[in-house]
Amino acid sequence: MIKEITIGQYYAGSSPLHRMDARMKLLLTLAFMVVIFLCKNFFSLGLLAACAAVLALLSRVPGGMLLRSFRPILMLVVFTSVLNLLYTNGADTHPLLELPVWRWTLVITREGLFIAVFTTVRILCLILVSSLLTYTTTPSMLTTGLERLLSPLARLRVPVSVFAMMMTLALRFVPTLIEETDRIMSAQKSRGSNLETGSLLKRIKAFVPVLVPLFVSAFRRAAELAYAMESRCYTGSGTRTSLKQLRLRLPDYLAAFCLLLVMAGVVALNRFFTAVI
């Protein structure tokens, strides 16, 4: 059950999205998300949804994998759309549907329906672009990119490279710790601890025999890693070069240009058509 958790989901590939500079991808993803929130009507949102779909196709990440990234957020989407659907007061006098339920009447208005669909598409677009970023960029590339983007902060004495190293290490140890948890759980289950049934409190208590050894081994690993790094002369300070050189190339600039165009398109469409939201 614990193996299903994936952090730093990466789909190995060599699509144009994979080859892009991590810094540019990070910035453009952020910009894309901002633009999603700038949309005011279905036309501009439609344009963005189409762009997101094109990006998904470009990435060559299998559709099943993309759908899987929607799964954790599904409940939220359903919840918000139902609330939007029921709680929006329409301006028009003729609601689409009036459903008597016991002492109340459920009223669904055109506006309610529109807003529900609108927010759903918006959330799905957000998830899609952000998961495209993680699907096409390795965690280490992401942290390198982030480090570079934040490097101006180093002037203000913010230890950016140390933070980046911490992030890289944390990511690197996620699978290791998951494996370790699995192993310790098996060992304790073999000694008859019951991790799957019982009340919540009981189950939390049952996890103590898993958590204690897990922490012990995490600290041991941390100490070992620190020795290993220090014996290779790592110090937090000092300027280091990076093994992976990030370079902005023509496609990166093209992508930025495309996003600018899309942004202009969104602004124009917002102007020409009436706002939904």
Partner 1 sequence: MSSVIECDKLCFRYPNTAKTAPPALEQVKLTVERGELLAIIGHTGSGKSTLVQQLNALLKPTQGTVFVDGKNIWENKKTVREARFLVGLCFQYPEYQLFEETVEKDIAFGPKNMGLEADEIKRRVCRAAELVGLDKLLLKKSPFDLSGGEKRRAAIAGVMAMEPQVIVFDEPTAGLDPRGKEHILQMLLRCRAETKRTILLISHNMEDVARLADRVLVMHQGKAAMHGTVEQIFARAEELTEMGLTVPCVTRIFLALRRMGLAVPPGIFTLEQGLRELLRLAAESGCAL
Residues that bind partner 1 (CB under 8 A): 3-4, 180, 183-184, 186-194, 208-210, 212-213, 216-217
In angstroms, the Cα distances linking 101 to 81, 107, 110, 112, 183 are 19, 10, 20, 18, 52
Closest approach of partner 1 to the CB of residue 70, in Å: 19
**Which CB, 79 or 219, lies closer to partner 1?**
219
Give one DSSP letter per residue of 151-204, joined into a string: GGGGGGT--HHHHHHHHHHHHHHHHHHHHHHHHHHHHHHHTT---SSS-HHHHH
Nearer to partner 1, 2 or 101 (CB): 2
By beta-carbon proximity to partner 1, the closer residue of 71 and 94 is 71
CB closer to partner 1 out of 3 and 103: 3
Cβ neighbour number for residue 138 with a 10 Å cutoff: 16
| Closer Cβ to partner 1, 213 or 265, answer by number | 213
| Cβ–Cβ under 8 Å, residues 28 and 256 | yes
Contacts 24+ apart (CB under 8 A), 170-179: 171/7, 171/8, 171/139, 171/140, 171/143, 173/218, 173/221, 174/7, 174/8, 176/221, 177/214, 177/218, 178/2, 178/3, 178/5
The least distance separating partner 1 from the CB of residue 67, rounded to whole angstroms, comes to: 16
Kindly tell me which of 90 and 213 has the beta carbon lying closer to partner 1. Answer: 213
Provide the CB-side half-sphere exposure for 96 (13 A, CA). 12
User: CB 110 → partner 1: shortest distance, Å?
Assistant: 45
